[in-house]
Amino acid sequence: MSRSEDLRLIALAEFASAGYAATSLQRIADLVGASKASVLYHYDSKEQLLEAALAPALDDLSALIDATAASGLDLAHRAAFVERFVDYLLEHRQVVHLVINQGATLEDVPVMQSALVQMRRVADLFDLAAGSPVERLRYGIALGGAAYCLAAARQLDVVEEEPEILRAGLLAVISELLLPIADPAR
């Protein structure tokens, strides 16, 4: 794995767990075993490093949304979407955690602005604007709760070592929360 790939992955882990502001370039350099100037050789700035860290997950989310928006999210497709979305959360847990917890304070960073737009598009798939406050609560609890569980999997003693059990459990609870949300086509 190349040095720039290493940097991107380690930066994401630190940005997600410690916070973007609390993660210095020096810290990332130390973790990677290089100098701060080397970090800035590969990425023009701390902000560009954040952009590189988020980009793959945002591309995947955009693809997921585009595929879903075409067919709509009526009841026939709801369960399938929830399953794909849970898989997305499992695969990109650090980015999701980062965006929903630090997004508001980083919204003047272009890539984070873009990420927040994508998250709103997911919410829009459920047509939450037309729904009740309880439906929006269900959605928020599902999203925020899943993100928290995946970020804090170790502290919650949720079996990271058995990803199929984690996936099945997460899918069951998230489905319970999201499937009852009213069919937007009604």
Partner DNA sequence: CAGCAACCTGACCGATCGGTCAGGTATGGT
Partner DNA sequence: ACCATACCTGACCGATCGGTCAGGTTGCTG
Choose from DNA, a copy of itself, none: what does 174 bind? Cβ within 5-8 Å by kind: a copy of itself
Q: Name the binder of 140 from DNA, a copy of itself, none, CB < 5-8 A by kind.
A: a copy of itself
- For the bound state, the minimum distance from the C-beta of residue 185 to a copy of itself, rounded and expressed in Å, comes to 21
d(CA 137, CA 143) in angstroms, rounded, equals 10
Compare residues 39 and 170 and give the one whose CB is closer to a copy of itself: 170
Which own/partner contact pairs does 4-8 have at CB distance under 8 Å and 24+ positions apart? 4/42, 4/43, 4/52, 6/32, 7/32, 7/39, 7/42, 7/43, 7/49, 8/49, 8/52, 8/53
64-67 long-range contacts, CB within 8 A, separation 24+? 64/88, 65/118, 65/121, 65/122, 65/125
Q: Residue 30 touches which of a copy of itself, DNA, none (CB < 5 to 8 A by kind)?
A: none
163-178 vs 133-151: helix axis angle to the nearest 10? 170
Residues from 52 through 111 that contact a copy of itself (CB under 8 A): 100-102, 104-105
133 binds a copy of itself (CB under 8 A): yes
Determine which residue in the list 42, 46, 93, 138 makes contact with a copy of itself, applying CB under 8 A.
Answer: 138
141 touches which of DNA, a copy of itself, none (CB within 5 to 8 A by kind)? a copy of itself
74 phi and psi angles, rounded to 5 deg = -70, 175
Nearest alpha carbon to residue 20 among 144, 106, 89: 106
AA letter at 145: G
d(CA 12, CA 35): 18
Least Å distance between CB 101 and a copy of itself?
A: 5
Q: CB under 5 to 8 A by kind: which of DNA, a copy of itself, none does 40 bind?
A: DNA
Q: Contact residues for DNA (CB under 7 A)?
A: 2-3, 23-27, 34-38, 40-42, 44-47
Q: Give the interface with a copy of itself as residue ranges (CB under 8 A).
A: 17-22, 100-102, 104-105, 123, 128-129, 133-134, 136-149, 152, 155-159, 162, 165-166, 169-170, 172-174, 176-177
